[in-house]
Amino acid sequence: MTLAELEQSYGESMAAVRDATDATALDQVRVRYVGRNGLIPALVKQMKDVPAADRPAFGKRLQTWRAELEELLEARKGEVAAPVASGPVFDATLPGQWSVPGVEHPVTQVIAEVARIFGKLGFTVADGPDVETRFNNFTALNTAAHHPSMDAADTFWFDDDLLLRTQTSPVQVRVMTAHKPPVRIITPGRCYRRDTTDATHSANFHQTEGLYVDTRPVSLADLKSTLAYFAREMMGSKVGVRFRPHFFPFTEPSVEVDFSCHICGGSGCRVCKQSGWIEIAGAGMVDPRVYRFVGYDPEEVYGYAFGMGVERIAMIKYGIKDIRHLYENDVRFLSQFG
Amino acid sequence: MKVPVSWLNEYVDVADLSVKELSDKLTFAGIEVEGVETVGALLDDNFVVGEVVACERHPNADRLSVCRVSDGAEEWQVVCGAPNVRSGLKVAFAKIGAVVPEGGFVIKRAKLRGVESFGMICSARELQLSEDHEGIMELDGALVAGTLLREVLPAPETVFDLEITWNRSDCLSIIGVAREFAAVLKRELRLPSVDFSEAGEPASSFAKVVVEDTVGCPRYTARILQGIKDRPSPAWMSRRLELCGVRSLGLTVDVTNYVMLECGQPLHAFDYTTLAERTIVVRRARQGEELTTIDGEVRRLDTDMVVIADAVRATAIAGVMGGEATEVTGTTSNVLLESATFAAPSIKATATKLGMRSESSHRFERTVDGELADWGSRRAAALLVELGGATAAPGVIDIDNRKAKSTTVALRFKRARDVIGVELGDDAMVEILERLGFVVTERDGVRGVFKVPSWRCDIELEADLIEEVARMHGLDAIPERAPVAVVSSDNDEPFRARAKCRATLTSLGFTEAMHYSFLSAAELDAFDKRSGAGRLVLPNPVSADYAVMRDSLLPQMVGTLGRNASRQVMSCALFEMGRVFGNSSGHPWEEERVALGILGAVGRGKLDLRRPVKNDEAVLWLRGALEALAVKLHAGRVELRGCEHPAMEKGWAFEIVIDGKMTGVMGAISGALRHQWRLTAPMVVAELQAEVLLANSFARGVLQDVPTFPAVRRDVAFLISESVTHEAIVGCIKKVAPQELTGVEIFDMFNLVESGVVLRSVGYALEFRSTSRTLTDNEVNKAIEKVMQALKDELKVVIRDK
Ligand SMILES: [Zn+2]
């Protein structure tokens, strides 16, 4: 056999492997070329008949031929349908075998989202203890002793001084007491009020407040712009905000913040009680009296603060109808927040 | 607070505005509209005054009557169920075809228990006039049957239910709300007349007033009115009271309530003749002093409370409620009319302590304008003179100890613009404040000084004026811009570390649970009584179920796993990150923890879920999760040390040691605890201190070079006593192996019984690698021999035949 003939046989053998449609055919090709009495072993035996000059090239080619052919045979083995009797059939419809990831609690997810959004605007997360002092929770926040929120009936008091914080504002007091302005924080955390639990009230709940205090003018317009950005990021690009005048002891002016309804777009639906707006937050410019309590000079600083209920946002965002679901920890509920 | 629009319209023109417009104006003035109610309905010609001509018991029903009702032209047979229906009564009669406002149904010819009925006699509720459904309305007997009802009944009324914020006590009255509307709408406020004629001896000759507690009572006024004919109040007055939710009780009391609703000044009328020595003393109550209030309750007072007393006894709890002994009754004709100012904190404390809330205390708690005391008194006197034929003694006894009678506050115009963020001219600001009743006393290009109107007790600072300007200018006018990011360098690593911990746990298959911070003592006890004395207990819990701050996350974790199991959840893996609390000799402490819990075959593939889970398997799953968490958070090596725990099975409780530090507890929950959920499968839980776990979350080790030389792996397999631990085996191997030993991994373990002795068969894969050369077979063989020898010598292992 000449080198040219060798190349032709090579081509034929490779084609035969490619064309084989089942395992039997493939095996026949294998036997024909590389079996004990196949063509390639036969050619090896005939090497002595090849002209001496061609012999090295011939031998080398036989080697590569055999290697390539066997590689292709191996590759094709997996492709051609195996005979039914040859082993178990793989069922690709079986469930995958890997552990299923868990999910974070919806309250955590909302807090993470709030931190992400305000993080983009340069707010960092600050935290404080759940057991707080009267000073941090009320006095420094300019809450008069006879303000309704001081009612023993509404607050968990341990004694005359210590209580479970009713809001996360004491964190603001702590941060301002410890740092000079600028202060730009959000304060997600757990709060407590002596509410009887029902579909919308829970004695144990979460709030996140925000505070920005600086030595350059900060205005209600800055507050509105910041909250409008938050509204769009949190609830969707079409959601807008409006302010309504209100009263909080620690801000002046104080406003309540409504988001336009993300469900109906403002035309009115069940979620927004036909008003087109959903009450989300309380906010305002920090009351000068608060600055005095934390050792800032009210003439030197400007600032705003806002606060919102985390569960409330979770309920609105995810359509949760009863706040109690959030503390029941039924995995059939939780697993839907993946 | 209820505000009928028709009453409001008396002081400011609002009748031309729709309910929606009024609602919006209130909302954007800062007064929340809680509800809008329509009282009464437009009645068509089918509603007439009817006369019950005859009334007999229904033959087939005890509670029904069969009446003949005249509509002025014809008589109709009507079946009526009201207990008060009787012959001769003038009634509200709905004829066939009438649509009843409440419920909206149409009156048709009907048969009731076999008797035909042609129309209906209406109750007040059916006509939406009040909630009264006790019986049918009894109309004025002088009315002529057939008169259209809409001509004799009050027109439909719109009543707003307003939520007044705590600071705006001035709006706790119809006039207060009207004043706000006048400012918002730029319309005129009309106040009623407080003029009346006086006669006889001066008021001061009738009574002596002594104010002992001038802090609790900065102002006390008393007027004397005699010869009041306490007839029923005129219809317009009782109607207004009723629209505001106040019952009509006779002219004198009605006038005090009416004036309070109208202007916000609570008033109290004493029966003058019952006051011992005709004396009023405003003083602190004596400790234990008792007073029966007009609601019939005996109140025990203390020295923090201010009372109105006569010469011998307390006669009223100041600003909260009057006493029974001196109250005005139907026969009272001479009264001492109190119109006073009481200090908010004192009233608040008293009302709270006594658990009493009245319309009066509600207003005083929020501060009442001291100027109102006289105006309110005059207004009430004028009404009693006009409507009750009273004779007013000339003058007033007025003990006025108020400190500052007026305040001034300065507003820097630029500061206001800066804070609000709008371009608003100085004049515009001044105009807004003037509209609200502020008076400019000084002004230049920089600032204005404003005298605060007496009713605005909430205005003290410049910021308060800025709020008024912002609110009246309109919060909608505040522009929205692109938000500006301001970078602060505060460290938020603690927050990110928690996020990383949560992300790791969820990726490991754990779902986050969240429980209350408090639970019942019983739940904590069932889990671990040992901590009992160190718990932080809530003195005033909402219920016994939430009476103690949790000192561990595990009781709730166990409960939640159990509850899920009882809801047919076959397997779950949960975690919680939260705070626990305690009380160390009077000092509360709190600490963050991470809890994990697993139930069911969470560590197995889906094709092997039914094989029962054993404790060792489950403990190793959870240990694996802890190790993975520790790796991700760079916390260090995880070790378990056997311990005792009342909630855990004997031999299955462990202390968790991380990086050599005691960090928590882990174990398989005891059968006794699992029993309440009928759970036989293991439930394994762990709890760790977050501080230890999270301390190095973002630590970075020194980067190691990727190995350049190949590794040589050898397996060793042997039989060993069950009592020898994996840790001991690895320690033994490492001790004798050369430094090229880079890994020891267990790959096989099972127990076999040989001649009655339990032996453990284990296999370890050893990896050798040098950082400087390729190891030879010979070297590795030598090392393996050394390892084998050490295992034989020290741990008495028997090498397994291959
Ligand atoms: Zn909507």
Q: Which domains does chain B have, with CATH numbers?
A: 2-40+158-185 (3.30.56.10), 47-153 (2.40.50.140), 203-400 (3.50.40.10), 411-477 (3.30.56.10), 494-694 (3.30.930.10), 712-799 (3.30.70.380)
Residue B373 has pLDDT above 90, yes or no: yes
Q: Do A102 and B505 touch (CB under 8 A)?
A: yes
Distance CA A139, CA A170 (A): 10
pLDDT at B489: 67
Distance CA A218, CA A212 (A): 8
Distance CA A269, CA A276 (A): 7
pLDDT at B491: 82
- Please give, rounded to a whole number of angstroms, the shortest distance from the CA of B506 to a CA of chain A: 4
> Among A281, A336, A272, which residue's Cα sits nearest to residue A304?
A281
Q: pLDDT (tens digit, 9 = 90+) per residue, B192-237? A: 999 999 999 999 999 999 999 999 999 999 999 999 987 889 989 9
pLDDT at A125: 96
Residue B321 has pLDDT above 60, yes or no: yes
Q: Mean pLDDT across chain B, nearest whole number?
A: 93
Q: Does domain A106-337 have CATH number 3.40.50.720?
A: no
Q: Could you tell me the CA-to-CA distances from B84 to A142, B75, B90, B130, B655 in Å, in that order?
A: 57, 20, 12, 17, 78
- Please give, rounded to a whole number of angstroms, the shortest distance from the CA of B306 to a CA of chain A: 16
**Residues B212/B284, Cβ–Cβ less than 8 Å:** yes
- Please give, rounded to a whole number of angstroms, the shortest distance from the CA of A84 to a CA of chain B: 24
Q: pLDDT (tens digit, 9 = 90+) per residue, A163-202? A: 999 999 999 999 999 999 999 999 999 999 998 889 999 9
Alpha helices by DSSP H, listed for B186-292, are 235-243, 251-263
pLDDT band at B347, cuts 50/70/90?
very high
Alpha helices by DSSP H, listed for B365-412, are 372-388
pLDDT at B331: 87
> Among B261, B275, B294, which residue's Cα sits nearest to residue B383?
B261
Q: Do A190 and B541 touch (CB under 8 A)?
A: no
Q: pLDDT (tens digit, 9 = 90+) per residue, B74-104? A: 999 999 989 999 999 999 999 999 999 888 8
- The DSSP annotation for A288-336 comes to HHHHHHHT--TTT-EEEEEEEEHHHHHHHHHT---TTHHHH--HHHHGG
Residue B259 has pLDDT above 80, yes or no: yes
Sign of CA dihedral B386, B389, B390, B393: positive
> Domain limits of chain A?
3-80, 106-337
Q: pLDDT (tens digit, 9 = 90+) per residue, B510-549? A: 999 999 999 999 999 999 999 888 999 999 999 999 999 9
Q: pLDDT (tens digit, 9 = 90+) per residue, B97-134? A: 999 988 888 999 998 888 999 999 999 888 888 777 78
Q: Do B421 and A222 touch (CB under 8 A)?
A: yes
Chain B residue numbers touching A225 (CB-CB < 8 A): 479-484
Q: Percentage of chain B surpassing pLDDT 70?
A: 100
pLDDT at A216: 93
**Residues A314/A320, Cβ–Cβ less than 8 Å:** yes
pLDDT at B103: 85
Q: Could you tell me the two tokens for B389?
A: 């034929």
pLDDT at B633: 96
Chain B residue numbers touching A91 (CB-CB < 8 A): none
Alpha helices by DSSP H, listed for B244-371, are 251-263, 344-354, 359-364
Gap from CA of A244 to ligand 1 centroid (Å): 18
Q: Do A130 and B494 touch (CB under 8 A)?
A: no
pLDDT at B570: 87
Mean pLDDT across the stretch B255-280? 96
Interface test with A, best of B168, B357, B478, B598 (most A CBs within 10 A): B478
CB pairs under 8 A between A and B: 237
> Among B356, B396, B366, B373, which residue's Cα sits nearest to residue B268?
B373
Q: Percentage of chain B surpassing pLDDT 90?
A: 83
Residue A37 has pLDDT above 90, yes or no: no
Higher model confidence: residue A312 or residue A83?
A: A312
Chain B residue numbers touching A289 (CB-CB < 8 A): 461
Residue B38 has pLDDT above 90, yes or no: no
**Range with the poorest average pLDDT among B174-188, B365-379, B396-410, B463-477:** B396-410
Chain A residue numbers touching B605 (CB-CB < 8 A): 97
pLDDT band at A81, cuts 50/70/90?
low
Q: pLDDT (tens digit, 9 = 90+) per residue, B603-658? A: 998 888 889 999 999 999 999 999 999 999 999 999 999 999 999 999 999 999 99
- Please give, rounded to a whole number of angstroms, the shortest distance from the CA of B517 to a CA of chain A: 7
pLDDT band at A82, cuts 50/70/90?
low
Q: Could you tell me the two tokens for B215?
A: 């802090």
Distance CA B255, CA B196 (A): 15
pLDDT band at A86, cuts 50/70/90?
low
Interface test with B, best of A329, A332, A333, A337 (most B CBs within 10 A): A329
pLDDT at A48: 82
Residue B739 has pLDDT above 60, yes or no: yes
